[in-house]
Chains A and B, each alone.
Chain A
């Protein structure tokens, strides 16, 4: 019996010819797809990173203000001057606090979304998490400045319900308090947490989503309390997500130079220092050295995380 359709179908032009080409050379497609991003990452990103690194090993002539293109560690030594060290420590403490704050707030939200939200509620979750990202960053920060201001809604509400005492007590705490929330380190912290929260929730939720319910049931089945299950099963399995989120919140806080200018004490952070050094001061080498600090801190952080087994569940 002869079949009316042929065993081999005719080629239908360019699309079929390309399909055949990629089928014969499977790596070719990969190369085509990867070349543009690799060029971008390799040349533009790594190249500028290298240029930055190079700059940080130059120094500035104190009298003429001209960059001396000779290899030296003098600029790095400058980082350890009291005022600069102060900036680094302040930034580091704030980034750590923001990361912990984000993690604490994000976890219940991410856990709910991963474990209980279904259908419509899942859509509401994604919308709720993403919605703040729709408006401009600056608008949000200025909105917060008004919310946190002495004449703002928080002070007003606290007075209304008679909690001014507590608010004033918090503002009186040295180190985090200040004249009003909008001019205190606490205010800076609140705005940072708000602005970076989505970047913590989403990776956490993705990690929690991958933990099957049966694993939590197995833990309970074997006699674990809820707290034990959280500590020994949920947290270790969610850890890669927590670390991914913390990379965002940590590095975004370390590099930000806008929020500390608008909300807070105007004390300088690394981002602001870099901005001022490369702009008004024209001290590119020190700006570069400052910019290297977050990279080094992130590398140390990730190394510790890896040592502690944070990526074992990957």
Chain B
């Protein structure tokens, strides 16, 4: 399998060389051809800068970026066969939907008839047949998003970059678009690189994902790997809000003297008597499909997911906690 995108020790620093802001700091990354790759991280973690390094809107301070094996250090954005769905969609307000979608072909000198036909095909692909004559201002957020997608796909890019494309949509629409994007990707076979701060979105859509923190990649892997075996405290907390246990607590929980992650859904809430781990309920958050209990245990706050249908203890009650020792994941990395 070829690598669609490769980062070799790539850094992007802003500001003066004496006190640089390290937006991206020594990132190594390989994105396999045909995969759905997510870049996940909080705002300011460098994920969007990485995306812009691929599209060419940022130049690396150091390091090498290759797209399908070719060094793109000297290639401006318009010559990279990589297209972007922008966060604000960036549709041209003075052009109708058809001209927006056909823009990539227009600048290549494709004649009007051909590009109108292609634009119509792309609109059909994103289920917007018959919207060609409208202006972007006349569309809803979800429709604009689809136009942006059609416009980015019209050039048949080798890699499609999506910068938080679902961020502006409401929940229902977002879920529908997640399924559609996923289906579209497997149908077209194009490599998708998807930037998001929503860990649920990244877990459900990506074939593999990179978790960014402070300009570096904290972990790369499949969603299942990252979720089950977070490498660092940051990953454990950011992906699925795990219980991050300090070494002493890990030992109290029957593990080694190391930082560990224990997923809230792996904890069972039991009666307080006759168990090794007992604590006081300090807070209850109702989630619909269950409740999330905060339990104070030897001075550590631990979250446990209580499935719906089970009796919910009162705040202040003493409860016991039990778990399968295999669920306690000891973390190797720091930070």
Contacts and interface: CB of A to CB of B under 8 A. Distances in A.
Interface stretch (A14-22, A228-236, A291-299): A228-236
- Could you say which interface size class chain A belongs to? 20 to 34
Chain A residues touching B, majority SS? helix
A236 B94 CA distance: 7
A224 B104 CA distance: 7
Interface string B124-157: 0000000000000000000000000001101100
Interface stretch (A128-136, A215-223, A251-259): A215-223
B90 A217 contact: yes
Contacts of A236: 94
B93 A237 contact: yes
Given A212-B90, A222-B155, A223-B78, A217 B57 contact: yes
B253 interface: no
A214 B90 contact: yes
Contacts of A237: 92-94
A217 B86 contact: yes
B170 to A, nearest CB: 22
A225 interface: yes
B108 interface: yes
B103 interface: yes
Contacts of B91: 218
A221 B107 CA distance: 11
A222 B88 contact: no
Interface in B38-58: 55-57
A313 B86 contact: no
Contact of A219 (B94, B103, B152, B155): B103
Interface string B188-215: 0000000000000000000000000000
A224 B90 CA distance: 15
Given A222-B151, A224-B107, A212 B88 contact: yes
Interface in B78-107: 78-79, 82-84, 86-88, 90-94, 103-104, 106-107
Contacts of A159: none
A233 B87 CA distance: 19
A225 B55 contact: no
Interface in B54-81: 55-57, 76-79
Given A214-B90, A236-B94, A222 B107 contact: yes
A225 B84 contact: no
A312 interface: yes
Q: Could you say which of B56, B90, B155 has the most chain A C-beta atoms within 10 Å of its C-beta?
A: B90
Contacts of A215: 90, 92
Contact of B103 (A212, A214, A222): A222
Contact of A223 (B87, B92, B94, B104): B104
Nearest to A211: B93
Contact of A214 (B82, B88, B151): B88
Given A232-B107, A312-B94, A313-B94, A221 B88 contact: no
B55 A233 contact: no
A10 to B, nearest CB: 41
Contacts of B55: 217, 221
Contact of A220 (B76, B93, B151): B76
Given A217-B57, A228-B107, A232-B107, A222 B90 contact: no
Nearest to A214: B90
Interface string A290-314: 0000000000000000000100110
Contact of B84 (A218, A232, A233): A218
Nearest to B84: A221
A222 B92 contact: no
20 contacts: A212-B90, A214-B86, A214-B88, A215-B92, A217-B57, A217-B84, A217-B90, A218-B90, A218-B92, A219-B103, A220-B76, A221-B78, A221-B152, A222-B78, A222-B103, A223-B104, A224-B78, A228-B107, A232-B92, A313-B94
Interface of B: 55-57, 76-79, 82-84, 86-88, 90-94, 103-104, 106-108, 151-152, 154-155
